[in-house]
Chains A and B, each alone.
Chain A
């Protein structure tokens, strides 16, 4: 309005110079106006993702020493997620076997992810919530759906709400439509999809990022049907995910290729970076990974280009400045120490017998369950029977049976 007024009165040359000064001033002013707009936009972005807390469920499903790389995979993702800010209380870490204290580990209390032992992902403050034989399909599904027995401690529960973004990472041996747990059972993609649907009906997540690093991993996300899930897999159906490199001192393969390049990508992310999911999809192309990583975003409501990596891997908190205060005028009432004085105990206490050696030494042998006879023995009996009947004729058969 001011400039319009000036231009209207700009008849002679003298006032035109003041117009020039005014336009120069307005040019200086507009950047600051733009800057405040940027700050507002940043504030707006705080609430665009719609989540207030982050959770991570990291599962390694295989045991035995030669599956060292699966434990290393999971621990490297754990390490990145902790470094980017998710606290231990919000991470459920399930490791099916203990590699760090395995008797075949030449460097005990370490799990390396790079050959020449460059990076120890085990560290000092690893908190494993489900370990060893506790990692079963049943426990995994119970954690996801929340149907845990009431005695389960908080650290073993996924206490997410409708504003939580959850990262789920699975690794191990898999096949077309299933993932093997502990070499004895398997979880199918339909069960996983049903578990996610149960989570959605109870609003246990706001958005879910599902990453799987197994052979034929893409088959595991084929059956998802709940909204707001984004999935990444290290290989397509029919392809195998390969491991990265062995270490000659430790004697096993240390990491899988997909997770190795994923870790490299995540090492460049820091809590305030603005890298988005489209860069994550480009991690480990076919030239590096040999298998073709896949992703699925059709169930996700937002555009992947606007989703930050830290929306899932980190824990950036929204903050609001407190503007209201209450002026408290009532004086503080100091509490009297109303606790009763504890009387001194006068009974003599003894420890109970914690190691009853006499019982242990003279223990009776445990009753072993009866097992049907072994294949070798069955074969031996069959051979003997055949020989008998060959020699003496088939007519004796009816006396036996």
Chain B
């Protein structure tokens, strides 16, 4: 029967269409989909709006003679001051200074009665230890002799400062006026010892592309290395003339005595690995000129930029990691070009005889007096002088800024480690903010990238790393809010490591770009021959169903 066959045909076509739509399409969708693990997108978008709060604990200690007895009784125990800054539409900063006031204890009074500020500083340290990130200011009366003439503030080795009470404090009657006049000085002290708004905005340069910055600001930002979990430092001795000079340098002892204390103190900020080498017959690429007035050879500052490249080709590097490398070169000129002096732009000789290149390292020229009848002459290099030049260069490269202090300030010597505690705090503030800024941009740009390009596979380990980076970031921001600088630094380092590992994971390579016309070209020969009979039979059935009521009526007639 034709009708039965036709009916069977219709059922078959419907069944095939049903299977194709119900089973085939989901199967095709599932098998051609890329595996994308779940990412905490909501939290990442939250991080895109960065609102940082930095809390500094300040303790102000009044010694005898600075406050009247009346004022001493009415002193408020604490005071909080907040400053809000909007950097751009996604970044806001809030600085919170929690100040506590108290009077000095008897032991502190004794310590403050020392003859010089440096001694007072040392004795004060023996009394108490302040946590990282905090600042203690001792206010001494105007008549006190501990501060030299003309100096209002002395910044010590640790986290303390000695502030001379100004004349205004004597004149002011109300406690409020006294505290207000003290505030201006305290603000200045905090800008030197803790952080200034300029430092923090410079640290945020990863998020906020600086528009017009002053030339000094730009030079500062280009000089120091960006925050990195580790650095490799190489000390090299260049001896172009081994036949005349036989050089001995006790670099291991010098490093362990002078450089290692600094690096151990900076251990919370980064890891360091040091090595040293001696290069023979390594020449500078520039010929020095003989200057008869100085009776010496000179290298002018303009030609110094061409010195580094020929030397760098010779410097090997045993670095097995991708950390930035700092090179410190000690060049002993050959006997034909001795002595060799470096002159600056105004043709004056430079006393340190050294120069540095931003983000690369430093070079020092060490002149030896090779007066001896027997060649080669034994030369023992004075490592103290050499390290006295390399150490400040190292400090500059690592970001320990030594900006000129405001007038009336006296900065104390930095101690055995070559780094004062408050300098380390300063560095930790800027580095943790920098780390947080970099980690947030990395995570948000990774999320944006994965969103934009739908073909990238997101494995589980990447999702895990992103989640842990987000968690570390939130912890770091929380610790900065509370003011625990050490923990904030640690969490920010973890956040950076994890976010970089997630961003640079080798499996995230988007390789296959399919423009839409190519996608059609691939799928049409596969699906069209199959879909055409199904569609045509469905259409035929639909037209028959529409015709049947008409036919039924005709038949009835």
Contacts and interface: CB of A to CB of B under 8 A. Distances in A.
B49 interface: no
Given A154-B317, A194-B510, A146 B345 contact: no
Contacts of B358: 52, 318, 320
Interface stretch (B33-41, B161-169, B501-509, B528-536): B501-509
B218 A194 contact: no
Interface string A116-129: 00000000000000
Interface residues on A, range: 35 or more
Contacts of A320: 223, 355-358
Given A147-B508, A188-B513, A201-B445, A325 B222 contact: no
Contact of B257 (A149, A157, A194, A333): A333
B511 A138 contact: yes
Interface stretch (A59-67, A84-92, A168-176, A283-291): A84-92
A161 interface: yes
Interface string A74-100: 000000000001111100000000000
A332 B513 contact: no
B270 to A, nearest CB: 15
Given A318-B305, A333-B253, A88 B313 contact: yes
B125 interface: no
A241 interface: no
A44 B216 CA distance: 10
Contacts of B215: 44, 47
A296 interface: no
A317 B509 contact: no
A87 B355 CA distance: 20
Measured as residues with beta carbon below 8 angstroms from the partner, the interface class of chain B is 35 or more
B254 A87 contact: no
A317 B257 contact: no
A377 to B, nearest CB: 24
A147 B219 contact: no
Nearest to B316: A89
Contact of A317 (B206, B351, B360, B445): B360
B506 A198 contact: no
Interface stretch (B233-241, B388-396, B477-485): B388-396
Interface string B288-324: 0000000000000110111011001100010110101
B15 interface: no
Interface in B393-421: 393, 402, 414, 416, 418
Contact of A202 (B252, B258, B503): B503
Contact of B360 (A53, A190, A326, A330): A53
A50 B212 CA distance: 13
Given A188-B513, A201-B449, A320-B356, A326 B253 contact: no
A321 B258 contact: no
Interface of A: 36, 39, 42-44, 47, 50, 52-53, 85-89, 137-138, 141-142, 145-149, 154, 157, 159, 161-163, 188, 190-191, 194, 198, 201-203, 271-272, 315-328, 330-335
Closest 5 CB pairs of A and B: A85-B309, A201-B445, A322-B354, A324-B392, A319-B304
Given A203-B206, A322-B362, 13 more contacts: A43-B345, A89-B312, A142-B506, A147-B506, A147-B509, A148-B504, A194-B513, A271-B309, A318-B222, A318-B305, A325-B352, A328-B387, A332-B257
